[in-house]
Structure 1
Amino acid sequence: MVKVIFFDFDGVILDSMPIRDYGFKKIFKEFPQKEVEDFLVYHNNNGGLSRFHKIEYFYTNILKKTISEKEIEIYANEFSEIMKNELINKKYLISDTLNFIRKNNDNFIYHIVSGSEQKELRFLCKKLDIDKYFKSIEGSPTVKNDLVKNILDKEKYKKEESILIGDSINDYEAALINGISFFGFNNASLKDKGQYLDRFINLEGILNGKL
C-alpha cells in the first residue's frame, strides 16, 4: 500500500519548461545561438538537475571555458528573478496533477523534490497556493538522489510504501538509487522506466488496485 508520494515539480505540477527555456536564453543572450541551442537540448533532457549544475555544464562542456562559483551564482540569481516574475501565474499549474493532489490529500503524504532552487521553489509554491498540500518542499542545490534519501531517513518511511513521480531520467535514477517505485509522467521517453502515467486519473486506479 502506497502512503508517501514524492513529486517532481517542473513538468509534473507546473508546466514550466518553456518558461525555463526562455530564462536560460535570456541569461545566456550574449553567447552564440548554436551553443545556447545545444545547451537547451541538454537542459530539457535533464530536467531533474539543478540550474547550478546546468550553468556550469554550459561553460565547461559546451563553451569549453571555466566558470567560478561566484559567476554561477550571479547567473543563477538572474535566472531566479525571471522565474519568480513569470511562474507565479496559476495558468501554468497542470490541472490533471492538481486535481489528483486535492482529491487525495487525505489519503497520502506528499513531498516535493525538485531540481529547482529551494528558496525560489518554496516562493512559487506559496504564491501558487499549493504549499499547504505538501509536508516538505525541497530543492537544489542538494541533488535529488539525496533529497529523497534524506526524507526517507528523517521520516522513517518504508520504501515499499513510497513512490516518486517525475518527468525526467534524473527522477527515475533518484527513485532507482533509493529503492522506491517510479512513475513517469509527461515524457513519453520514460515509458520503459517503471510505470507510466498518461493521466493522473490512472494513478488512482493503480494505487487502489483497479488497474
Structure 2
Amino acid sequence: MSLQCLVFDCDGVILDSVPVKTRAFARLAEPYGEEARDRFVMYHTVHGGVSRYRKFQWFFREILGRDISPEESQEWGERFAQYALDEVRRCPLIAGAQQTLEHWHGRLPLYVCSGTPTEELCTILQERGLFSLFTGVYGSPPAKAERLAQIVRQAGLDPADVLMVGDALTDRNAAESVGTQFYGVGPELKGGDIPWGPDLTALNAWIAERL
C-alpha cells in the first residue's frame, strides 16, 4: 500500500465554511419556529457532507409531514445559495490548506469530492484561485461514496493508494465503503482510531511519511 492520490472534501477541510452553511440552514427553517430550526440545524450538523437537497427532503418529511416538490426544492436551493455564497466567497481557508495543496500540486493528483453542487463548487474554487490546483472537482449529486468511487476509477488506482481527507462521518463512511485511506479533520472526528488533525497543518508531514 502506497499513497498516489489525494481527495479533499471542501467545507471544513479546504474552506472554513461550515459555520456559514449552518447559518443558512437555520435561516431557511426560521419561519417554521425555533424547534423546527433547531432540529434542522442538528440534522445538518450530524450529516455533514450530505447534499443540501437531501437535507431539504428530510425537513419537509420530518418537520412538515410531506414530500418536497421539485419546485420547492429548487426554490430552497436558490435561497440557500443566496444566503451562503457571499460569505463562502470571503471565508478563510482552513489552516494549512493552501500550503498542502500547493505543496502536492504537480506531485500527486488532487481531487475535490464534496456534497456541494458541482457547478457552485467549481465557481467558488475558481473565485478563490484554487481550481487550477486540482485534477478534478466533483460535487453532488451523486452521494459522497459514489462520487469517491468515480474519482478512484478515473485516477486508475487501487483504492488503498488513495487518501480521502474529510471532516464528517459521511466522508469517513465513504472512504470505508470505497476502501481508501482516510485522514480526519476538525472536532467531529476527534478521538477516534483514525489519523486526525484539528486542521491541515500536520498533513504534509503525514503524507510524506507514506509515499
Please give the TM-score of this superposition, normalised by the length of structure 1.
0.92
Q: CA deviation at 1:40?
A: 0.4
Distance 1:181 1:55 in 2: 31
- 2:7 is equivalent to residue 6 of structure 1: yes
Corresponding residue of 1:78:
79
User: Equivalent residues in 2 for 1:1-211 (5 A)?
Assistant: 1-89=2-90, 91-209=91-209
Q: CA deviation at 1:190?
A: 4.4
Q: CA deviation at 1:188?
A: 4.4
Distance change in 2, residues 1:153/1:189 (3 Å): closer
Letter in structure 2 aligned against 1:113: C
SS at structure 1 position matched to 2:182: strand
Distance 1:62 1:190 in 2: 31
Distance 1:190 1:199 in 2: 11
Distance change in 2, residues 1:201/1:18 (3 Å): closer
How many positions carry a matched residue from both structures? 209
Q: CA deviation at 1:193?
A: 4.7
Distance 1:9 1:201 in 2: 16
Letter in structure 2 aligned against 1:121: L
Letter in structure 1 aligned against 2:137: I
Q: Is the 8 A contact 1:181 1:194 kept in 2?
A: no
Q: CA deviation at 1:85?
A: 2.0
Identify unmatched segments of 5+ residues in structure 2. Answer: none
Q: CA deviation at 1:137?
A: 0.8
Letter in structure 2 aligned against 1:129: G
Backbone CA RMSD of aligned residues:
1.7
SS at structure 2 position matched to 1:88: helix
Q: Is the 8 A contact 2:25 2:40 kept in 1?
A: no
Q: CA deviation at 1:199?
A: 4.3
Q: Is the 8 A contact 1:109 1:135 kept in 2?
A: yes
Percent identity at matched positions?
23
